Structure 1
Amino acid sequence: MYQWLVENLKAYYTFVKVLKKKERGEVLLYKHKQSGNYVVVKKLKGIYPAYERLLGVKQRHLPFIYEVCCNENETMILEEFIPGITLAEQLERTTFPERYVREIISQVCEGLYALHLNQIVHRDIKPENVIVMKNREVKIIDFDAAKIYKMYSQKDTRTVGTIGYAAPEQYGEAQSDARTDIYGLGIMMNVMLTGKHPVNEMAAGKMGNIIEKCIMVNPNKRYKNVMEVKAKLNKLHY
């Protein structure tokens, strides 16, 4: 299957450019020779069960995964190309008003809820992994750190995530679950509002109160699920 995918890429697609190189592999952009449609091709060292779980999952705030193939050394993933810019790129220019943050985070919550329904924990929610398209529709990207939640597991088998956004349990204290993504969501909200990590400046007002609960050290004190976060945001009036 892996070799078949390699051969089909050569036959029907043209390589465009390298989107990203990282320690675990590379992310490439290809263009279909006839239709002109773009596709993202990831070549990553190791096995990535979360991508396999996402095969066929359709949700407006998640990229569609077309194919996942493995050989002895690496996994190749064909993924929908998302045109737009990341929140990180937007934050290079400015912070955001509360109304915009509520709009964006509500969509991220919907995407995360779909992941969590499939027992997938993203584990790397941050501005670099959220793309905003021209119509202001949001897509969550990059599931390289994602894991399948296992009910009876005591803790994660490896430490992953981004320093500053990773929840305490991602450092071997306990198993990551949906509340781990709520922690990253809270940090991201604060950065969107203030341009800073909560350690340096905490957002004020009712949004600040929501963020504080998202980033509690004890997962049991956070919101139980992302739709609870969305509901709290939607109760705010501007």
Structure 2
Amino acid sequence: MENSNNELALRYREIEPLTDKLNGPVLVRKNDTNEFFVKKCYPLYLEEHLDALQKIEHRYLPKIQEVVVQDGKLWLYEEFVQGKTLTDVIQSSETIETDQILTITMAVLEALGALHNKGLVHRDVKPGNIMMTSEGTIKLIDFDAVRAVDGEKESDTVQLGTMGFAAPEQFGFAESDERSDLYSLGIVMNICSVKEYPKKQLTQDPMLRGVIRKATKLEPAERYQSALEMHQALRQQRLRQIAAAKRAKSRAATLEKGPIRTYTNTKPNTNKWDTNNYVKQVISIISRWYEVIASFFRKYIPGFRTEVMWKRVIAIVWYVFLIIGTIGNVLEQPTTGLRIQLFVDYLFMFILPIILFTNFLDYQRKLPLFSSCNRVYRYIGYGLIFLFWLVLTKVGLELNSFIYKHFN
């Protein structure tokens, strides 16, 4: 829609530029209502996307007043959001409470859900584009990188996004979609928690760790598939947090209001059996051991380090067959020497590939090929690991055979 300079001048009065950039955002005031807006210049190819954005009204998105094409330039007039960016909050805070991180993330997810429902992807979710108003409201701002999801392209026509927060597919490896925004938001969550990117230091916060790990998977198919799905996962985490807080408060109230007991020097009846207390102690011990074992499996055992149930089922079936097959075949050997030799052979043939190909102890993150966003480089990395396994197995089996022949 074409508008004359005079018409815009009658409607808006420029107050001051908000940055030193040429054609940067300018604070303006609407003459008839005295409302403040931010006037921003956008590329002309975004006109259709910004028109779609203007139709979205959401409490966690700034209000788009109007989209104007003027003198070959595209201008957007949007609500002026007064407050701090999340970047400012992170830098000025030693720590951000988990509850606040959940609140911010769930608000941004609702904003993203509104965009995604209209077929739009933000593509630049980062702390600098998340505003916290003086009233405590969250706003997702800045639509310089917004695009519509096509679903049939091999990559984005225009590759935009902020390094460190943008999903791998935003750099030309595939078309970005809703899951790209969720990847970026997972990075933001980790930055809020430990002020580091997940690949350098993943938060140990049990309320956030699993969600961040899934949201930031390299393969989009392994991430949350929608903002709603990720929102529900966080909502469940928050409900657990609330329930835990209520239990702690209830226990504290019980201790505070409990009757005062007096004790005499009489010897307690050692023959009396407190069944309820005994059961509680047993359950508590089992629960602690379960958490220790579950934590070990999630951290170290391939197949259990993911939240994907089918991977865990396959891992259980594989480990059962491997253990039964190994023990059965080893015990069938007539001598101790043969048993040791066969056991070592099995280590090279079956155990070693599990360690190498399932990223045991997250060793792949330290290798350049696997830390690359280029999928081809990662495939090359797996090829080299396969060759390494073949060579190591060949050498190991021959060495094992040589030792058996010469020392038995």
2:208 maps to what in 1?
Answer: 207
Output aligned runs, 1:66-85, within 5 Å. Answer: 66-71=65-70, 73-85=72-84
What is the deviation of 1:22? 4.8
- Counterpart secondary structure, 2:25: strand
Runs of at least 5 residues in structure 2 that lack an aligned partner in the other structure: 242-408
Of Structure 1 and Structure 2, which has the larger fraction of its residues in helix? 2
Partners of 1:210 and 1:103 lie apart in 2 by 14
> 1:216: which partner in 2?
217
- Single out whichever of 163-172 and 71-80 deviates more from structure 2: 71-80
* Displacement after TM superposition at 1:21 (Å): 5.0
Which amino acid is 1:20 matched to?
T
Unpaired runs of at least 5, structure 1: none
8 Å contact from structure 2 (residues 63, 78) kept in 1: yes
Kindly report which structure 2 residues correspond to 1:133-172, keeping only aligned pairs within 5 A, or say none.
Answer: 133-172=133-172
* CA-CA distance at 1:15 after TM superposition: 1.3
Partner of 2:109: 109
**Counterpart residue identity of residue 200, structure 1:** K
Aligned equivalent of 1:100: 100
Root-mean-square deviation (CA, aligned residues, Å) is 1.7
SS of the residue corresponding to residue 144 of structure 1 reads: coil
Tell me the CA shift for residue 33 of structure 1: 3.5
Alignment of 1:26-41 (within 5 A): 26-41=24-39
2: CA distance, partners of 1:200 / 1:2: 49
Alpha-carbon distance between aligned partners in 1 of 2:103 and 2:140, rounded to the nearest angstrom: 14
**Which stretch of structure 1 is more off in the superposition, 84-93 or 115-124?**
84-93
C-alpha displacement at 1:72, in angstroms?
6.7
Q: Measure how far apart 1:134 and its partner are.
A: 2.4
Deviates more, 1:14-23 or 1:131-140: 14-23
The farther-off stretch of 123-132 and 87-96 is 87-96
Q: Is the 8 A contact 2:151 2:175 kept in 1?
A: no
CA distance in 2, matches of 1:159, 1:9: 32
| Structure 2 counterparts to residues 166-181 of structure 1, below 5 A | 166-181=166-181
For 1:53, the aligned partner's letter is A
CA distance in structure 1 between the aligned counterparts of 2:104 and 2:97, rounded to whole angstroms? 11
Check whether the contact 2:113–2:227 (CA below 8 A) recurs between aligned residues. Answer: yes
Distance 2:75 2:8 in 1: 11
Instruction: Tell which has more relative contact order, 1 or 2 (C-alpha 8 A, sep 6+).
Output: 1
Determine if contact 1:50/1:143 at 8 Å carries over to the other structure: no
What corresponds to 1:88 in structure 2?
A: 87
The Cα shift of 1:57 comes to: 1.3
The correspondence of residues 52-63 of structure 1 with structure 2, limited to 5 A, is: 52-63=51-62
Identity over aligned pairs, percent? 31
Q: Which has the higher strand share?
A: 1
- Secondary structure of 1:26's aligned partner: coil
SS of residue matched to 2:213: helix
Displacement after TM superposition at 1:179 (Å): 0.1
TM-score under structure 2 length normalisation: 0.55
Asked if the contact 2:121–2:177 (Cα under 8 Å) also holds between the matched residues in 1, the reply is yes
